[in-house]
Amino acid sequence: MTSKVKNLEALAKARELSHVPWCEEYEKMISGMLYNSFASDLESARFKARAWAHTYNNYFPPEETNPDFNSLAKERATMLKKILGKVDDTVFIEPPFAIDYGCNISLGKRFYSNFNLTILDCSIVTIGDRCMFGPNVSIFAATHEVDVASRRGDVEFGKPVTIGNDCWVGGHVVILPGVTIGEGCTIGASSVVTHDVPSWSVAIGAPAKVVKKVTPVP
- Paired strand residues for 193: 175
Rounded to 5°, the CA angle 113-166-58 comes to 10
Q: In what order do the strands lie in the sheet with 138-140?
A: 97-99, 117-120, 138-140, 174-175, 192-193
Of 19, 144, 172, 195, the active-site residue reads 144
Report the alpha-carbon distance of residue 111 to residue 12 in Å, rounded.
24
> Can 144 be counted among the known catalytic residues?
yes
Cα torsion angle, 40, 43, 47, 53, sign: positive
- Indicate which residues carry an active-site annotation: 144
